[in-house]
Amino acid sequence: MNIIETNLNFGNLTKRSRTVRAILHHSAGSKASAEDIHRWHLANGWAGAGYHFLVRKDGSVYRLRPEWAVGAHASGSNSDSIGICFEGNFMTESMPTAQKQAGKELVAWVKKKYGFTKVQAHRDVQATGCPGTNFPFAEIANGSTGTVTPTPPTSGNTYTVQKGDTLTAIAKKYNTTVDALAKASGITDPNKIHVGQTIVIKGAAEKPKPTKPNGNTGTNPIIRDGQIHARNFAMPGLGADGIRGPRTKEAGIRVLQQAMNRDYGAGLALDGIWGRKSEKALGRHTVRRGEKQYMVTALQILLMLKGYYCNGVDGHFGAGCEKAVRQYQADHGLTVDGIAGYNTFKSLIQ
Ligand SMILES: [Zn+2]
């Protein structure tokens, strides 16, 4: 499964505190793109598209409203649910196989991600015919199918397929292999990619890119900036080549050691080796939104060293930082709570 990221601009959104169910809808109109829905819902005076996801007839899945936000799709039931819209009018139409398959995968993925089992039709919670009498509800709500892959990262590590692209050409461009890209992106048939699809580059690179005399393609500018921050914060002499190699990994550990020394007086040697003393110093410490300390500085640098951008390195845990943490957690199978604790820090220094 692949989720296509969109660039829709939303008004004020509210963070959803609980996610215990998914609610399924149809668009009622036979044709509805992500932009169409966004425009229609803005015209309602809403902050933008009210659903979190759109499943189109061709089986492509688009992100609409950010997943963390309260939706606007089922009055009275928005505060604890994910809203999924299926393109089409299933009062009269029947659902194409590709769309049904994609819907099953998306629903299975959302259930697994948030750990709930409850899936409802819009008509279950409001007086409406939505999503239509022909909507294959039981199949989509209960069917677990295929391989479910996490949402690809959105920041600097992905490539959006353009017209005329092949996976072979993209692999060549990023100095990796078709197999590695397919694996990282959850693609089952490398000959079937489509315009607008997100290809995950990060984690796909199998061979380190040799530095060429002119041009540094294949290096990640976020990692490079992170290396410069890590050098200044905890590891003088660290090179900034934009490639996450053994020295960069060592730098990440040093950055965390430095922060624990400053915030907690841990007295650790900046040796870049994660030993018992470092483990004990980290303990159950967490950092979260609103905090300002060196552990936040470390978090921001560690995210960059993994290719995640969080609006700079300032030691202040703001919205950009929380967004990056959530994205990182989602991409790495961690609990998505936007709080950096033991598991998140340990994953970041791996
Ligand atoms: Zn509906």
Rounded to the nearest angstrom, the distance between the alpha carbon of 171 and the centre of ligand 1 is: 40
Do the domain assignments include residue 41? yes
Do 188 and 235 fall within a single domain?
A: no
Six-digit token string for 166: 């092949």
Taking residues 331-336, report their average pLDDT: 90
Rounded to the nearest angstrom, the distance between the alpha carbon of 120 and the centre of ligand 1 is: 11
Spatial CA neighbour of 299 closest among 219, 229, 244: 229
| pLDDT the model gives residue 203 | 59
Task: Choose one of 142, 170, 185: the last residue of a domain.
Answer: 142
Do 124 and 12 fall within a single domain?
A: yes
Number of domains the chain is built from: 3
Do 226 and 303 fall within a single domain?
A: yes
Taking residues 60-79, report their average pLDDT: 96
Do the domain assignments include residue 211? no
Rounded to the nearest angstrom, the distance between the alpha carbon of 228 and the centre of ligand 1 is: 49
Do 62 and 38 fall within a single domain?
A: yes
Report the range of poorest mean pLDDT among 3-12, 63-72, 310-319.
Answer: 310-319
Rounded to the nearest angstrom, the distance between the alpha carbon of 122 and the centre of ligand 1 is: 5
Q: What is the CATH number of the domain that holds 96?
A: 3.40.80.10
Rounded to the nearest angstrom, the distance between the alpha carbon of 175 and the centre of ligand 1 is: 44
Rounded to the nearest angstrom, the distance between the alpha carbon of 48 and the centre of ligand 1 is: 15
Rounded to the nearest angstrom, the distance between the alpha carbon of 84 and the centre of ligand 1 is: 9
Rounded to the nearest angstrom, the distance between the alpha carbon of 112 and the centre of ligand 1 is: 23
Rounded to the nearest angstrom, the distance between the alpha carbon of 77 and the centre of ligand 1 is: 11
Chain centre to alpha carbon of residue 17: 18
Rounded to the nearest angstrom, the distance between the alpha carbon of 89 and the centre of ligand 1 is: 11
| pLDDT the model gives residue 181 | 83
Chain centre to alpha carbon of residue 216: 26
Rounded to the nearest angstrom, the distance between the alpha carbon of 336 and the centre of ligand 1 is: 27
Rounded to the nearest angstrom, the distance between the alpha carbon of 54 and the centre of ligand 1 is: 12
| pLDDT the model gives residue 220 | 84
Do 30 and 137 fall within a single domain?
A: yes
Rounded to the nearest angstrom, the distance between the alpha carbon of 123 and the centre of ligand 1 is: 7
| pLDDT the model gives residue 218 | 63
For 192-242, what is each residue's pLDDT tens digit? Answer: 888 778 787 765 543 333 333 333 446 788 898 899 899 989 998 898 888
What does pLDDT average to over the chain? 87
Do 38 and 133 fall within a single domain?
A: yes
Whether the pLDDT of residue 16 is over 70: the answer is yes
Rounded to the nearest angstrom, the distance between the alpha carbon of 137 and the centre of ligand 1 is: 13
| pLDDT the model gives residue 204 | 58
Rounded to the nearest angstrom, the distance between the alpha carbon of 141 and the centre of ligand 1 is: 15
Residue with tokens 């609409």, as numbered in its chain: 64
Note whether 17 and 23 are within 8 A (CB).
no
Whether the pLDDT of residue 153 is over 80: the answer is no
Do 187 and 60 fall within a single domain?
A: no
Do 130 and 20 fall within a single domain?
A: yes
Rounded to the nearest angstrom, the distance between the alpha carbon of 337 and the centre of ligand 1 is: 28
Give the model's confidence band at 95: pLDDT under 50 very low, under 70 low, under 90 confident, else very high.
Answer: very high
| pLDDT the model gives residue 137 | 95
Do 112 and 239 fall within a single domain?
A: no
Rounded to the nearest angstrom, the distance between the alpha carbon of 9 and the centre of ligand 1 is: 22
The string of DSSP letters for 88-118 reads S-TTT----HHHHHHHHHHHHHHHHHHT--E
Do the domain assignments include residue 174? yes
Rounded to the nearest angstrom, the distance between the alpha carbon of 146 and the centre of ligand 1 is: 26
Q: What is the CATH number of the domain that holds 309?
A: 1.10.101.10
Do 179 and 275 fall within a single domain?
A: no
Rounded to the nearest angstrom, the distance between the alpha carbon of 90 and the centre of ligand 1 is: 11
Do the domain assignments include residue 216? no
Where in the sequence is the domain holding 82, given as residue range(s)? 3-142
| pLDDT the model gives residue 144 | 53
Whether the pLDDT of residue 150 is over 50: the answer is no
Do the domain assignments include residue 25? yes
Whether the pLDDT of residue 135 is over 60: the answer is yes
Taking residues 142-157, report their average pLDDT: 47
Spatial CA neighbour of 297 closest among 349, 256, 241, 348: 256
Do 289 and 195 fall within a single domain?
A: no
Do the domain assignments include residue 337? yes
Rounded to the nearest angstrom, the distance between the alpha carbon of 126 and the centre of ligand 1 is: 9
Rounded to the nearest angstrom, the distance between the alpha carbon of 116 and the centre of ligand 1 is: 20
For 240-284, what is each residue's pLDDT tens digit? Answer: 888 999 999 999 999 999 999 999 999 999 999 999 999 999 999
Residue with tokens 């505190």, as numbered in its chain: 17
Most confident of 149-153, 176-180, 299-303: 299-303
Whether the pLDDT of residue 58 is over 80: the answer is yes
Do the domain assignments include residue 73? yes
